[in-house]
A and B are shown apart, each in its own frame.
Chain A
Amino acid sequence: MQRRSFLLTPLLLAGLAPAAAAEAVRYPPARRGTRLAFPRDHGAHPAFRHEWWYVTGALDAPQRDMGFQLTFFRNRPGLAEGLSSPLAASQILFAHAAVTLPGARLLHAERAARANLGAGFSAVDCDVHIGAWQMRRHDTADSESFRLKMQDASFAFDLRLTPTQPMLLQGDGGWSQKSPRPDLASHYVSWPQLQVEGALVLDGKRQPARGRAWFDHEWSSTVLAADSVGWDWIGINLNDGGALMAFRIRDAAGASVHAHAALRDKDGRLQQFGADQVSFTPLRNWSSPRTGARYPVQMEIRVGPYAVRTSPMLDDQELVSRRPQPISYWEGLVSVTGALAGRGYLEMTGYASALNL
């Protein structure tokens, strides 16, 4: 009896487990026409599979062109869904933080936890934390701001981000299509040109910090089609006060599956560009000694009539994360020149191995 069950169970379970999980969890799709309401939609959408709050920025004097990044990811893995315990690992949070020292090095730190166990998020406003790391929107009578806090052995920051412009709903009122198929999409809200004020701790020394940041909040259940391996994305705070966001989804051959861009000029006029009007052309590649991945760290990006060139503040801005699973991507501060000029964050994923989102 024991031997039989020993022989049978692994086979049985292997067949059952994924099916059971898939059946138990029905993720909602990102639906076109969903009206976003704030501050509620700054908060988490726990029913969706993926969500992230992404802040990238560049600091000014005394930290000339130093880049910083703090991202909180929320993931609903579809596990332990029916379990009656507040500790069930049905919602998992990850956070990545990085500081780019131009021409020198990238400092990187990460945290991971399940919600309710040293970490948590709000579903009614932007308020997410893992331990003492946090990203939180503060509302006062006359202003609103975001508070970003993180600390690690080698660096820490505590920044206040104040809007200078209204937020920007990407795509169709915050519904952003990620493939020619309309079912692959996300809800996507950006907030460019945030004024940064606060403190940065480097090598144990605390120094005041000022600069400009870009806030992204995106949630979805399925983003990439099976044939897609990753994306190139850029968000640029233009020097004149405008903002440009562009992305493309790539297939294994490096060809664009889908692309989109939005440009809001300094006067607040918004232009959107479809897949046929957006192109990313690699100009120079850099190979990671860590992962062997080849990243096009310098690119020409064409958005309608505008052509811009990116050049990285540091070639090696690759992030190698162990959590939730080994994942490597390039995410870093670039300066942008050409028809439009500014500083932006370029993100390139799927170069080391295909992403499954």
Chain B
Amino acid sequence: MSRLAWWLIRAQFMTRRTATALSILAIALGVALGYAIHLINAAALADFAQAMKSVQGEPDAVLAPRDSAGQVPLALINQIARDESVAIVAPVIETRVRVDRAPTAVKLIGLDPFSAAAVMPDLLPRPSDAASGGSLFEDGAYASPALLAQLGLGVGAGVTLSRGEARWNTRIAGDIPAARPDDLLLVADIAWVQAHFGPPDAVSEGRLRLMPGVKAADWLAAQAGRLPAGLALRAAEDDSARVSNISRAYRVNLNVLALVALLTGAFLVFATQLTAVAQRSTQFALLGVLGLSPRRRLLQILVEGLAIGVPGAALGLALGYGLALAFTQAIGGDLGGGFFSGSTPAILPGLAPTLGFFVLGCAASLTGALYPAWLNRMQPLAQALKTGFAQQPHAGHDGRPRSRRAWATAMALMTLATFGLTQLPALFELPLAGYAAIALVLVLGIAAAPLVTQTVFGALVKLALPAPQRIALQNIVQAPLMAQVAASGLIVSFALTVSMVTMVSSFRVALDQWLDAVLPAPLYVRSKGMPLPDELFAALKQPTPFEKLERSATGALSLDPQRPAVALLVRELDRADPAARLPFTGSVSTVARDRIAVWISEPMQQLYRLNPGQTLRLPLLGREVEVVVGGVWRDYARQFGAVVIGQEDYLALGGRFEATELALWPRRGEEAAARAWLAQRATSLGLEMHESGEIRELSLSIFDKSFAVTYALEAAAMLIGLFGLAVTLSASVWLRARELATLSALGFDRRMLTRAVMTEGALIAAIGLGVGLACGIAVGAILTHVVNPQAFHWRMPLEIPWTQVLPAAALTLLAGIAASRFAARQATRLPAAQVLANAQ
């Protein structure tokens, strides 16, 4: 077998160089995209986990408040330290401070070097003898090398750290040698941090190392009931689960897109191999007569598929690795989801995923070769020897009314199934049913193509048309298989493109409107992670060019240790009319005066299954507080949920309202003065000032950036679809060699032949694009209404961007016609006499 097999493969590759190369490329592209996405995400995740490990260390469990404004009482830390199952408790105080007059706040971690040495060694400071007298316990802060570089400070420099009104005049007593190259942080002895920034008699959290042999889960379970309501002990393993949960939906989404690219690759292999089988049907028949068994004929096509898949997958791996490397070097580890930022993670391919993508590439190629291989096996030898390839070796369903009815019934059932799938909830918190529905829509589109073709062109054939056109029409109606193959590539790729464009455009329109609703004020000022300074409020009490101010504060509540924290927004809003500030998705229910009202975001509603009017226990201010959900508002900013509480309610609960953001309305006609007034304060106080327009632009540009990667996928899919059209058209030219030869013998000249083939291409492309458009809109609707809410927990109305879709369709049609020119050239080069002579 082997020698013959190699010889056949070589012959096949030599004669169909372009098609084979394109198939290899297409497989490579699918593999490369998937592999690159995997590599970048794996690297970013590892990097994120590493960063977390470097700051949090490797504890077994963490004792932390469930409210970011909360704290862990020192007495509790000391009590837990005496537990026999506990080896070490490493308490930390984490806060953010401003270094001198630097514009952004820096994280300051107060730690106890004794316990930190065991639990979070990467944070251990290194005192410079000259600057600190050599003691970690004395007055002094330690800076990461990156922070020193950013601030332009040296070890020994005096600095003033400030937070709100609290100040600590100290000096840089040394550095943090194990800090990661891009960590910007300060470390100091916990007592010094506490003495200057609090909290009194408490710490931010305690990180626990348990005694060897103690089962963390059992110990945690035993502790659970004994803790005060505002605190939670969580297994540190939950943290890594949470980290990977953060970006899971986004990663899965990207990988599904890569899978679609691979699918189109498989389709191209299908087209190529089908052509190859058709073109070599005589050769294979000859070999068959000489003793090549049907099984071997089947195997041969599969091996050829593999021969495309192996180099394709290998090339894809190399390409994907290069792509990932280039991407992380140029942009960083964030594919646009916004979950990882700032650093350049190292790309480290693992063996298992690398092999996995390799096998996936080969499998896609094999899948594409399956049907052609089966056809090759089923070829009736004698007939093939005489007349070449038989399209329908079984002479079956070629559009007779009965089978057409069965076909239609099957399609109706599939449509129902698709609809059913879109109604299913998320599985494992992933929109798996939604993805399945998308796959079904594509299958439906492909299956519908012959019906549409026959219906539409069957009618057209009856019109009086010039010969070339009529021949083209008749070809399509009578040989639906090839047309279907050519069209299905376009259907899939155009559907993908239209759906993505539709989804992105729906999202963008919704985001645009949402930004209007959430940015009511013209000017904003905020301090990241720190309360706004009293100095600013004192200045605002003087006559200013503003007519109105609104403060808000941000915090975080941990409702479920497995999930990222929910944002807590304390806002100055009117309890009677929260809709003035929040873009509600439905009706707002009034909450009794004596109850605490909160308004939850749409993601929170879905993640925690809450509805307006329901009560909910929030871990607020060290205890569990019963609140009533007054309504659900749209939020595209916080994927893991947000809850808004009115400032009055928050104060009534005993909270301290430390505003971190301020919205300002300038007096009419004094806008410029207001901007100048605020800009000056923002610079001197180290605050961020933004105009609402600026925030809008920034948000939209982030949005556009985050979807940039999908445009690359769409372009790739369209290219593959067009290749497919060209390859299949030339295949169909080969298949109809006798017919075309007959035509030219009957007097069809080159131009007429070219026109016939090109018309055929244009018609097929039109069908493909039409069906693709319909499928694309359906898939776009599924993406918008099913996948997005289930994966990211936000909803939006469907918005079809006709101005983008229709020009894209026209452009593709033109490209399709151009591609069919390639096939037409082959048709005109057919040695008509020889073909006809052979056919006898």
Chain A 81-115 against B: per-residue CB contact (8 Å), 1 yes, 0 no?
Answer: 00111111100000000000000000000001110
In contact, B157 and A5 (Cβ under 8 angstroms): yes
Q: Name B102-130 residues within 8 Å CB distance of A.
A: 112, 114-115, 128-130
In contact, B191 and A21 (Cβ under 8 angstroms): no
Is B192 part of the contact surface with A, judged by Cβ < 8 Å? yes
**CB within 8 A of B171: which of A9, A21, A120, A153?**
A9
Given contacts A14-B129, A129-B82, A153-B211, contact A5 B158 (CB under 8 A): yes
Is B516 part of the contact surface with A, judged by Cβ < 8 Å? no
Which A-chain residue is minimally distant from B85 (CB atoms)? A132
Is A151 part of the contact surface with B, judged by Cβ < 8 Å? yes
Is A10 part of the contact surface with B, judged by Cβ < 8 Å? yes
CB distance from B197 to the nearest CB of A (A): 11
Is A37 part of the contact surface with B, judged by Cβ < 8 Å? no
Is A11 part of the contact surface with B, judged by Cβ < 8 Å? yes
In contact, A89 and B130 (Cβ under 8 angstroms): no
Q: Which residues of A contact B129 (CB under 8 A)?
A: 14
Q: Name B57-104 residues within 8 Å CB distance of A.
A: 74, 77-78, 81-84, 86-89, 91
In contact, A131 and B189 (Cβ under 8 angstroms): no
Is A119 part of the contact surface with B, judged by Cβ < 8 Å? yes
Q: Which residues of B contact A85 (CB under 8 A)?
A: 191-192, 194-195
Is B131 part of the contact surface with A, judged by Cβ < 8 Å? yes
Interface size class of B (residues with CB under 8 A): 35 or more
Chain A 18-53 against B: per-residue CB contact (8 Å), 1 yes, 0 no?
Answer: 100100000000000000000000000000000000
In contact, A21 and B133 (Cβ under 8 angstroms): yes
CB distance from A21 to the nearest CB of B (A): 7
In contact, B137 and A118 (Cβ under 8 angstroms): no
A132 to B195, CA, bound (A): 27
In contact, A13 and B156 (Cβ under 8 angstroms): yes
In contact, A13 and B195 (Cβ under 8 angstroms): no
Is B190 part of the contact surface with A, judged by Cβ < 8 Å? yes
CB distance from A90 to the nearest CB of B (A): 8
Q: Which residues of B contact A151 (CB under 8 A)?
A: 84, 211
Q: Which residues of B contact A18 (CB under 8 A)?
A: 133
Which B-chain residue is minimally distant from A130 (CB atoms)? B81
Given contacts A9-B131, A14-B130, A113-B115, contact A87 B81 (CB under 8 A): no
Q: Is the interface of B mostly helix, strand, loop or mixed?
A: mixed
A13 to B138, CA, bound (A): 12
**CB within 8 A of B195: which of A84, A120, A204?**
A84
In contact, A11 and B130 (Cβ under 8 angstroms): yes
**CB within 8 A of A89: which of B131, B158, B191, B211?**
B191
In contact, B82 and A9 (Cβ under 8 angstroms): no
A86 to B212, CA, bound (A): 30
In contact, B112 and A9 (Cβ under 8 angstroms): no
Q: Which residues of B contact A112 (CB under 8 A)?
A: 114
Is A17 part of the contact surface with B, judged by Cβ < 8 Å? yes
Which A-chain residue is minimally distant from B137 (CB atoms)? A89
In contact, A89 and B133 (Cβ under 8 angstroms): no
**CB within 8 A of A9: which of B87, B115, B158, B211?**
B158
CB distance from A8 to the nearest CB of B (A): 9
In contact, B131 and A114 (Cβ under 8 angstroms): no
A18 to B74, CA, bound (A): 31
Q: Which residues of B contact A9 (CB under 8 A)?
A: 131, 156-158, 171
CB distance from B173 to the nearest CB of A (A): 9
Interface size class of A (residues with CB under 8 A): 35 or more
Which A-chain residue is minimally distant from B194 (CB atoms)? A85
A142 to B527, CA, bound (A): 65
Given contacts A88-B191, A153-B211, contact A10 B130 (CB under 8 A): yes
CB distance from B100 to the nearest CB of A (A): 11
**CB within 8 A of A13: which of B77, B81, B133?**
B133
Is A77 part of the contact surface with B, judged by Cβ < 8 Å? yes
In contact, B171 and A13 (Cβ under 8 angstroms): yes
Is B329 part of the contact surface with A, judged by Cβ < 8 Å? no
Q: Which residues of A contact B50 (CB under 8 A)?
A: none
Chain A 72-86 against B: per-residue CB contact (8 Å), 1 yes, 0 no?
Answer: 000001011001111
Is B201 part of the contact surface with A, judged by Cβ < 8 Å? yes
Q: Which residues of A contact B157 (CB under 8 A)?
A: 2, 5-6, 9
Is A165 part of the contact surface with B, judged by Cβ < 8 Å? no
A297 to B138, CA, bound (A): 40
In contact, A89 and B81 (Cβ under 8 angstroms): no
Which A-chain residue is minimally distant from B154 (CB atoms)? A6
Chain B 531-569 against A: per-residue CB contact (8 Å), 1 yes, 0 no?
Answer: 000000000000000000000000000000000000000
CB distance from B53 to the nearest CB of A (A): 22
In contact, B81 and A119 (Cβ under 8 angstroms): yes
In contact, B83 and A132 (Cβ under 8 angstroms): yes
In contact, B81 and A131 (Cβ under 8 angstroms): yes
Is B132 part of the contact surface with A, judged by Cβ < 8 Å? yes
Q: Which residues of B contact A323 (CB under 8 A)?
A: 114
Chain A 51-81 against B: per-residue CB contact (8 Å), 1 yes, 0 no?
Answer: 0000000000000000000000000010110
Which A-chain residue is minimally distant from B195 (CB atoms)? A85
Chain B 643-667 against A: per-residue CB contact (8 Å), 1 yes, 0 no?
Answer: 0000000000000000000000000
Is B135 part of the contact surface with A, judged by Cβ < 8 Å? yes
CB distance from B783 to the nearest CB of A (A): 53
Q: Which residues of A contact B128 (CB under 8 A)?
A: 10
A132 to B152, CA, bound (A): 45
Given contacts A14-B130, A117-B78, contact A83 B195 (CB under 8 A): yes
In contact, B190 and A87 (Cβ under 8 angstroms): yes
Q: Which of A11, A13, A80, A153 has the most CB of B within 10 A?
A: A13
**CB within 8 A of B192: which of A13, A17, A83, A116?**
A83
Q: Which residues of A contact B112 (CB under 8 A)?
A: 87, 113-114, 117
In contact, A10 and B131 (Cβ under 8 angstroms): yes
In contact, A86 and B81 (Cβ under 8 angstroms): no
Which A-chain residue is minimally distant from B201 (CB atoms)? A86
A98 to B158, CA, bound (A): 45
Q: Which residues of A contact B191 (CB under 8 A)?
A: 80, 83, 85, 87-89, 114
In contact, B78 and A13 (Cβ under 8 angstroms): no
CB distance from A201 to the nearest CB of B (A): 11
In contact, B114 and A113 (Cβ under 8 angstroms): yes
Q: Which residues of A contact B87 (CB under 8 A)?
A: 131
A143 to B650, CA, bound (A): 56
Which A-chain residue is minimally distant from B128 (CB atoms)? A10
CB distance from B17 to the nearest CB of A (A): 67
In contact, A131 and B88 (Cβ under 8 angstroms): yes
Which B-chain residue is minimally distant from A6 (CB atoms)? B154
Q: Which residues of B contact A17 (CB under 8 A)?
A: 132-133, 138
Which B-chain residue is minimally distant from A18 (CB atoms)? B133
A2 to B87, CA, bound (A): 45
CB distance from B345 to the nearest CB of A (A): 34
**CB within 8 A of A77: which of B135, B156, B212?**
B135
**CB within 8 A of B189: which of A6, A21, A80, A86?**
A80
In contact, A131 and B82 (Cβ under 8 angstroms): yes
**CB within 8 A of B91: which of A2, A80, A117, A120?**
A117
Given contacts A5-B157, A85-B195, A151-B84, contact A118 B138 (CB under 8 A): no
Q: Which residues of B contact A88 (CB under 8 A)?
A: 137, 191, 195
- New A-B contacts (13) at CB < 8 Å, excluding given A13-B130, A117-B81, A131-B86: A13-B171, A80-B139, A85-B192, A87-B190, A88-B191, A112-B114, A114-B112, A116-B74, A117-B74, A117-B77, A117-B190, A131-B87, A153-B212
Counting from the closest, the 4 A-B pairs by CB-CB distance are: A17-B133, A118-B81, A89-B137, A10-B130
Listed by A's residue number, 24 A-B pairs whose Cβ atoms lie within 8 Å are A2-B152, A9-B156, A10-B155, A13-B130, A13-B156, A17-B132, A21-B133, A21-B138, A86-B194, A86-B201, A87-B74, A87-B190, A87-B191, A113-B112, A117-B78, A117-B91, A118-B78, A118-B81, A118-B91, A129-B82, A131-B81, A131-B87, A132-B86, A153-B212
Interface residues of B (CB under 8 A from A): 74, 77-78, 81-84, 86-89, 91, 112, 114-115, 128-133, 135, 137-139, 152, 154-158, 171, 189-192, 194-195, 201, 211-213
Interface residues of A (CB under 8 A from B): 2, 5-6, 9-11, 13-14, 17-18, 21, 77, 79-80, 83-89, 112-114, 116-120, 129, 131-132, 151, 153, 204, 323
